[in-house]
Amino acid sequence: MIEKGVYDDALAILTQDLNIYESLSTVEHDRIYYHDIAAFLSNIARCYLYKGEHDLAITFFNRAYDTRESNYSSDHFESAYDLDQLGSIFTVKVLSYNQPKFSSNASWNPNAIKFADINTVGSFPWNVFVNINNTVYVTATNLHEVKVWSEGRIIPTTIISNGLSSPLSLFVTINGDIYVGNSKNGRVDMWTQNTTDSIPAMYVRSPCFSLFVDIKNTLYCSLQTLHQVIKRSLNSISNVTTIAAGNGSAGSASNMLSSPRGIFVDTKFNLYVADCVNNRIQCFQVRELNGKTVAGNGAPSTITLSCPSGIVLDGDGNLFIVDKDNHRIIESGENGFRCVVGCHGKGSAPNQLSNPTSLSFDSYGNIFVTDRGNSRIQKIFFINIFLW
């Protein structure tokens, strides 16, 4: 068994070499292969990760990513790495949410179970988020609370309410920070793990209907009434936000949105937007303000959507769409689009939904849905083998 002191010694040597590298001129930098430097920075990150210093580990993994970004696909950085007791490398997820991989014939039990009802989440809950530890978070909008369930618990283990007014959206990062769209207070607030007081993370002129934090620690907010998605780097001390999608006017052109709701950013920094009034899903590639329609109105070989309000990608990049006004969940796959949840029309039966607004996977492939019209959170069990 390798003692932790070995990693301290390795870190000291690596840090000394890094100082030498950083003292070189730009010309000398160019003589060193990018992948060598990226691997070098990743080794420093691994040492910090093993020592439990996660913030420093993420910092160096991000530096490794930046070094290789121009030459290599970001697929290399979908995961971080740790070292086992023998010094071998094994994969550790740095994503805070679950992205299972499913077979092409994957299926879910058509009859959901009620995870939480109006007595727990109040009327018309908006958002559900499940992290990689299968902790479930729900914005109980009309109760002005966020409810939290640890895995296996049937009643909330934590309730966050301090300073909240009609929370809509939420996102939880890998280190347990909780970002909440504090809609009537004009900001996004952040709670660090095991704290009761929040700090402002973003100031907004309109409620955030969806939040997302990408792998480079950039916070995104969809502003439905302003027809935009904005973003802000959480690594910066500046509160300045920039436009990620939409020009601020409602419309259906490629650079426009109309009442955007759910958002998702993949590890290549493609931004997916549930463009509600335009009945489509838009994809904005990194640094592009003109989107491409990938589902719904305007996309070839697609399916008819009616006010899509949520969008999630699985581990293969397939879309899972909350088709709100059609009261169902749609999946895109190699065989096209199909309904997977709520395929029996609007209603309150176990196999029905009513104006759902968001979805999230747990690590087993089960789907949690905010069944807003029925004031409940539904859990739909996966019943087919999925692929890792």
If asked whether residues 351 and 316 sit together in one domain, one would say yes
**Mean local confidence (pLDDT), 173-198:** 91
**Mean local confidence (pLDDT), 271-285:** 98
In a domain, 101, yes or no: no
Q: Alpha carbon of 275 to those of 49, 142, 226, 231, 270: distances in Å?
A: 39, 24, 12, 17, 15
Distance of alpha carbon 271 from alpha carbon 305, whole angstroms: 19
Distance of CA 195 to the CA centre of its chain: 22
Domain holding 188, by residue range, is: 107-383
Query: For position 38, what pLDDT does the model report?
Result: 61
If asked whether residues 203 and 265 sit together in one domain, one would say yes
Measured torsion, CA atoms of residues 239, 242, 246, 250, in degrees rounded to the nearest 10: 40
% of the chain at pLDDT higher than 90: 66
Query: For position 198, what pLDDT does the model report?
Result: 93
If asked whether residues 305 and 161 sit together in one domain, one would say yes
If asked whether residues 169 and 303 sit together in one domain, one would say yes
Among 53, 72, 94, identify where a domain stops. 94
Query: For position 37, what pLDDT does the model report?
Result: 62
In a domain, 354, yes or no: yes
13 touches 50 (CB < 8 A): no
**Mean local confidence (pLDDT), 17-22:** 59
In a domain, 136, yes or no: yes
What would the two tokens of residue 156 be?
């909330």
C-alpha torsion sign, points 258, 269, 202, 80: positive
Residue 217 CB coordination number (10 Å): 15
SS3 state of residue 286: coil
In a domain, 99, yes or no: no
In a domain, 147, yes or no: yes
If asked whether residues 374 and 263 sit together in one domain, one would say yes
Query: 183 pLDDT band (50/70/90 cuts)?
Result: confident
If asked whether residues 52 and 124 sit together in one domain, one would say no
Instruction: Indicate which CATH number applies to the domain containing 75.
Output: 1.25.40.10
Domains held by the chain: number: 2
Query: For position 19, what pLDDT does the model report?
Result: 65
If asked whether residues 284 and 376 sit together in one domain, one would say yes
If asked whether residues 245 and 271 sit together in one domain, one would say yes
If asked whether residues 14 and 119 sit together in one domain, one would say no
Distance of CA 60 to the CA centre of its chain: 21
Over the stretch 109-166, which tens digit does the pLDDT of each residue have?
Answer: 999 999 999 999 999 999 999 999 999 999 999 999 999 999 999 999 999 999 999 9
In a domain, 100, yes or no: no
In the chain, what are the helix, strand and coil shares in percent, each to the nearest 5? Answer: 20, 35, 45
Query: 8 pLDDT band (50/70/90 cuts)?
Result: low
If asked whether residues 182 and 121 sit together in one domain, one would say yes
In a domain, 9, yes or no: yes
Give me Rg for the CA atoms of the chain. 22
167 touches 187 (CB < 8 A): no
Query: For position 189, what pLDDT does the model report?
Result: 96
Among 34, 64, 94, identify where a domain stops. 94
Distance of alpha carbon 4 from alpha carbon 276, whole angstroms: 52
Query: For position 328, what pLDDT does the model report?
Result: 98
Q: What are phi and psi of 94, to 5 degrees?
A: -105, -5
Distance spanning both ends of the chain, measured CA to CA: 29
Distance of CA 250 to the CA centre of its chain: 25
Distance of alpha carbon 47 from alpha carbon 89, whole angstroms: 11
**Mean local confidence (pLDDT), 275-290:** 97
Over the stretch 193-238, which tens digit does the pLDDT of each residue have?
Answer: 878 889 999 999 999 999 999 999 999 999 999 999 999 999 999 9
Of 75 and 259, which is predicted with more confidence? 259
DSSP string for 27-77:
HHHHTS-HHHHHHHHHHHHHHHHHTT-HHHHHHHHHHHHHHHTTTS-GGGG
Give the mean pLDDT of the chain: 85
**Mean local confidence (pLDDT), 372-380:** 98
Instruction: Indicate which CATH number applies to the domain containing 300.
Output: 2.120.10.30
Among 66, 94, 122, identify where a domain stops. 94
If asked whether residues 83 and 153 sit together in one domain, one would say no
Over the stretch 81-97, which tens digit does the pLDDT of each residue have?
Answer: 333 333 333 334 478 99
**Mean local confidence (pLDDT), 335-358:** 96
In a domain, 83, yes or no: yes
Query: 23 pLDDT band (50/70/90 cuts)?
Result: low
Q: HSE of 152 in the Cβ direction (CA atoms, 13 Å)? A: 1
If asked whether residues 232 and 333 sit together in one domain, one would say yes
Of 19 and 154, which is predicted with more confidence? 154
% of the chain at pLDDT higher than 70: 78
